[in-house]
Amino acid sequence: MLFWDVNNGISRRSWARNEGALFAIKRTMEAEHLLKVTVPNIVADNLLDF
């Protein structure tokens, strides 16, 4: 359970665009093939300006 709890926290932080958490969850998914997390696609801020 601890494994999943820790990765759940990392996932939430990656969804908040935390670069370190995004790196960590991608690296963990490479090592643990059963772990599947939808990671955010980061876009440039100027693309969001209307």
Interval 25-47: pLDDT, tens: 999 999 999 888 889 888 888 88
pTM of the model: 0.72
Identify whether the C-beta of residue 13 lies closer than 8 Å to the C-beta of residue 31.
no
Structure tokens at 26: 């991608």
Residue 2 confidence (pLDDT) = 60
| Helical ranges in the chain per DSSP H | 2-15, 19-31
What's the mean pLDDT in 12-21?
88
Cα–Cα distances (Å) from 12 to 4, 16, 17, 42, 50, in that order, read 12, 7, 9, 15, 28
Identify whether the C-beta of residue 26 lies closer than 8 Å to the C-beta of residue 40.
no
